[in-house]
Structure 1
Amino acid sequence: MDEPAGLRGESLLRPVRGGNSFEETVQRLLQTVRLGLVGPGERLPAERELATMLAVSRDTVRDAIASLSDAGYLVSRRGRYGGTFVNDVLPALTPGANRDGALAPGRELSPDAIEDTLTLREILEVGAARHAAGRALTPSQRELLWLSLVEASAATGDEYRRLDSRFHLMVGELAGSASLIPLIADVRMRVNELLDTIPSLGPNIAHSNTQHEQIAMAILTGRPDAAAQAMSEHLAGTALLLRGFLE
């Protein structure tokens, strides 16, 4: 992978692996929306383009869009400037699947599930930071990482979570493994689900922004150990808050 997909949905809208093409298409589109790669009010690629990007049929794409429209994430508009758009207001909770396989508004997480999420996140994201710092990044990749850092640092309110997610996904993108991105996206959705249940603390956000800069600078200056250490400390801080409020 020579160039990053950028800060848009292309990071996740890649060929599905088959077998469960509808379910994986729903997952990819949902991750793209929930993580803010295509933000509220923005338009998704056309159905034909999505089908090509995901390597599935247009019928599969259409069914996935219809399902996420019913769940309140997408809206279809007709006319010259029509298409499929992300809803201006998204459902508050990350949906889970109920016993019938349908999307449910949310789900409870056990202490074991919380620990599993935090452990998996550390394994994936610390490794991603280390590998990103060990690669020879192109000027475009370096610019995109810095842009994602600047946007996250300037964000406030509801925008912060979305742009924070973009920064972490960009680090994963720069690690150089296309297979890694959906894994980081999945664990990030699980982390966001946990964060939705605790209060947003201003000092924590300021500290996170400082740690983001440390991570980015270590990657940009080619220091794998420093990047891994900075990411590990950053994730540990979030884990402390989540354990404190939820366990």
Structure 2
Amino acid sequence: MERRSAMDAVRMRIGMAISLGLLKPGERLPDQEDVALGLSVSPITARLALASLAEQGVVVRRRGRAGGTFVADSPPTEVLASLSASPAESQAVNRLVHRRLLFECAVTHYAAVNATAERLDELERLTREMAKSSDWSYYHRMDEQFHQLVGTASCLDTAVEVYHETLAELYDYFIPYPIEKLHTSNRDHIALVAALRARKVKEAVEISRKHVDILHCTLFMGLAQG
């Protein structure tokens, strides 16, 4: 990803989601600003990426009240083939996955011991926000806040900073995903908050381990095909 421009990275993430059938022909993408927020890029980067994909026939842009950006009915296969992660990028994702899995278990353990009632209430609020989200962009933003807060709730001081850095790196590889599947994964968040409230350390850690393991096999670039 570091060798790609931010615009090319967005093009690839959207292109891979289409190739994998996560974004369907005719499906409307969130507004440009929401795409930018959901993929952690600037609005101008999102605009340039969408414009480039439109020029290549991967998406179509329509005006008017029912307008917006939509996945083309028949995106050019040769263009989609070019929008894929390299083996090196896939390896980078796998390394980040393993690092995050280690950190996730650690911060969850200590969150079950140290989380305050206020932070647990905020985690619960975020699960409600994710449950009512209607698109992947908003869900991803709430999901990131949720996991950042689990880290903060652990009270592991400077170790939390390293966890947050790893989390941010990995979120750069998120690709759009059907909201129905994301709502299903939110059940893990709900179960985790319940375990944290009950101070059930082993149960909370196991929920986090399974959650990270499953999501990283489906939601991150380079892993969805492997």
Q: Compute the TM-score of the two structures, normalised by the length of structure 2.
A: 0.57
Q: How far does residue 169 in structure 1 lie from its aligned partner after superposition?
A: 0.6
Q: 1:127 aligns with which of 82, 94, 106?
A: 106
C-alpha spacing 1:162/1:139, structure 2 compared with 1 (3 Å) = same
- Aligned counterparts of 2:164 and 2:45: Cα–Cα separation in 1: 18
Q: 2:128 aligns with which of 135, 146, 150?
A: 150
Q: Compute the TM-score of the two structures, normalised by the length of structure 1.
A: 0.53
- Aligned counterparts of 2:134 and 2:119: Cα–Cα separation in 1: 25
Q: Name whichever structure is richer in helix by fraction.
A: 2
- Aligned counterparts of 1:169 and 1:200: Cα–Cα separation in 2: 21
Q: Deviations over 1:62-116 (max 9, x none)?
A: xxxxxxxxxx84xxxxxxxxxxxxxxx3634xxxxxxxxxxxxxx9652321111
Q: Percent identity?
A: 16
Q: Deviations over 1:175-211 (max 9, x none)?
A: 0123133323222222222213xx4133421221101
Alignment of 1:174 with 2:128, yes or no, is: no
In the other structure, the counterpart of 2:188 is: 211
Equivalences, count: 147
Cα-Cα RMSD: 2.7
Q: Deviations over 1:100-146 (max 9, x none)?
A: xxxxxxx96523211111001101111111111122x4332222222
In the other structure, the counterpart of 1:185 is: 164
Q: How far does residue 244 in structure 1 lie from its aligned partner after superposition?
A: 4.2
Of stretches 152-161 and 226-235 in structure 1, the one that deviates more from structure 2 is: 152-161
Letter in 1 for 2:217: L
- In structure 2, stretches of 5+ residues that fail to align are 1-32, 35-40, 47-84
Cα pair 1:155 1:163 within 8 Å, conserved: no
- Aligned counterparts of 2:191 and 2:201: Cα–Cα separation in 1: 12
